[in-house]
Amino acid sequence: MFVGNAGGDFKGGKGRMYALDAKTGKIVWEFFLVPRGEGDTVRGPLGAAPLDAASWQNAQGIPISGGGTWTSHTLDTKTGKLYVPGGNPAPDFVIGAREGENLYTNSVVVLDAKTGNYQHHFKIVPKDWHDWDVSNPPILIRSMGGKELMLVAPKDGHLYGFDLTDNRRLYRLPATQVLRMLPKPSNPT
């Protein structure tokens, strides 16, 4: 069984994924979606990850946080890969406090479902200051042309398609239209 945690929009909460033994409830593995820091409680064996604090560059006194998992996850039973949609970095809306790439927030992180080891990630929304989490579970499909694709629609209003043979982004299509209302002109004479 796989479960993540929500929360983390402001100082402290860190996104994590867990695999639990369905019979015992014991934690099989744990994976941090933002860099683990000194003093962070570890509840189970950690999945291997190349992530460290270098991708964050937070201002002094601002802890690394965010990356909550706000939605379901996608398990590919053929490959044993778990696709985890990650939330926004924190502090929310304050990009100046976190100058780096903020890995793995606003991404779909691909883990080995048995070990929790990192395999790949798709950075969907870079430099987020709008709270544009990846808040929908990714969908895995085979196209009519035979391509294996991952589709995801985060809160930025676009549909993204990735080719899973080379993890390349194929498209980013608007899923909605944002109209900007202009003020009415003043009374022309």
Does residue 99 form part of some domain? yes
Does residue 55 form part of some domain? yes
Q: Band the pLDDT of 38: cuts 50, 70, 90.
A: confident
CA dihedral 40, 45, 51, 54 (to 10 degrees): 30
Residue 103 to residue 154: CA distance in whole angstroms: 16
Does residue 156 form part of some domain? no
Residue 10 to residue 87: CA distance in whole angstroms: 12
Residue that is written with structure tokens 């004479």 in the block: 189
Does residue 95 form part of some domain? yes
Q: Band the pLDDT of 122: cuts 50, 70, 90.
A: very high
The predicted model scores a pTM of 0.89
Domain count, the chain: 1
Does residue 151 form part of some domain? no
Does residue 153 form part of some domain? no
Q: What is the pLDDT of residues 12-24, one digit of tens each?
A: 789 999 999 999 9
Does residue 138 form part of some domain? no
Residue 32 to residue 145: CA distance in whole angstroms: 36
Q: Band the pLDDT of 57: cuts 50, 70, 90.
A: confident
Q: Band the pLDDT of 107: cuts 50, 70, 90.
A: very high
Least confident piece of the model among 25-34, 64-73, 143-152, 175-184: 175-184
More confident residue, 181 or 98: 98
Where are any strands of DSSP class E within the chain?
2-4, 16-20, 27-32, 65-66, 74-76, 81-85, 89-90, 107-112, 118-123, 139-142, 148-152, 158-163, 168-174
Are 10 and 90 in contact by the 8 Å Cβ rule? The answer is: yes
Residue 169 has pLDDT above 60, yes or no: yes
Of 82, 104, 137, the residue nearest 32 (C-alpha)? 104
Q: What is the pLDDT of residue 116?
A: 98
Provide the domain limits for residue 57: 2-130
Does residue 158 form part of some domain? no
Please report, as a single letter, which amino acid is at residue 107. Answer: S
